[in-house]
Structure 1
């Protein structure tokens, strides 16, 4: 069996999303630990953020979540809300992929970057479980990547939705593990 080359994808761990959630200190500590462990294991890390151009021309009014983003004037390019949260601040060599849809693969160069780096497995953590994580997990599986989701590396506003996705949906696309399990795996 071929050896997998993994990359950690940190999805929407940006100020404008983190700041909308409550009680994130433990979550951010977990992500910080995961990020440092990936760096120590010399794994590639790719940060993905949501951002729109001035006037939100990417936001189609037929797409309710995009229409809301435009209406709110949310996540303008280079705005503080689109910056990666300091708990997982990217290093110069860590690519930042900007998306304007829920999935990190839709209309971005993520697939090109992963394939150019020889990545065959994506390990995902980020916000929100029922949003960017769900869409990106499904897209990654459809693109034939091996998928690992860090259960406590993701958060959803609805804990029951998070549980169902982790236990019943993501396990059909790949594997779900705790951040501690994954950190222990890559430390070997």
Structure 2
């Protein structure tokens, strides 16, 4: 397991608050328990958040999704919307990566960190399944990482979108429930 890292992607205030679901607390509680289990056995826990510089110089108007973010003005560095949610806040020794695109690997120093730590397996959780999770899996597979996706620690705004994304993800990653993954750790 020394070559495994847990990625906690986009679990930040500005994204969690959009969920507006009664299951949000349960989701955050399961994620917190999973993070603690990973820490307990010494796995690297890496948080990935999305944040932009003031003025959004990295958000091209040709990119439809980033143009929407730019138009609404959210997720600017230093804004509370970019802070990791308090229920799963990083602790000393955890790593924080800032991204400016959907994939956690595109244009970030995440691959450099993973290679420096000799990580070969990525265990991925995040919001949303069809966004950061799928994009990171697709890119991570091309970069030869072994991939595990914690299906109950990914979420999308619509259940059918989540389910469809997991079908695609399962072609390149092992998809498991967090309790089953934790059981394997012990």
Q: State the TM bucket, normalised to the shorter chain.
A: over 0.9
SS at the partner of 1:96? Answer: strand
C-alpha change, 1:4 and 1:164, in structure 2 (3 Å) is farther
Deviating beyond 3 angstroms after TM superposition, the runs of 4 or more aligned structure 1 residues are none
Instruction: Quote how far apart the aligned CAs of 1:120 are.
Output: 0.2
Q: Counterpart of 2:185?
A: 186
Which whole-Å deviations, capped at 9, do the CAs of 1:29-65 have from their partners, x for residues lacking one? 1101111110111100000000000011111000011
- Contact in 1 for aligned 2:2/2:43 (Cα 8 Å): no
Q: Counterpart of 2:145?
A: 145
User: Quick one: distance in 1 between partners of 2:116 and 2:5?
Assistant: 12
Q: Counterpart of 2:53?
A: 53
SS at the partner of 2:87? Answer: helix
TM-score where L is the length of structure 1: 0.95
Instruction: Quote how far apart the aligned CAs of 1:170 are.
Output: 1.4
Q: Say whether 1:170 aligns with 2:174.
A: no
Q: Counterpart of 1:79?
A: 79
Q: Counterpart of 1:12?
A: 10
Q: Counterpart of 1:25?
A: 25
User: Quick one: distance in 1 between partners of 2:2 and 2:140?
Assistant: 14
User: Quick one: distance in 1 between partners of 2:165 and 2:60?
Assistant: 27
Q: Counterpart of 1:130?
A: 130
Q: Say whether 1:42 aligns with 2:42.
A: yes
User: Quick one: distance in 2 between partners of 1:171 and 1:71?
Assistant: 34
SS at the partner of 1:172? Answer: coil
Instruction: Quote how far apart the aligned CAs of 1:4 are.
Output: 7.0
Q: Give unpaired runs (5+ residues) of structure 2.
A: none
CA RMSD of aligned residues (A): 1.0
TM-score where L is the length of structure 2: 0.96
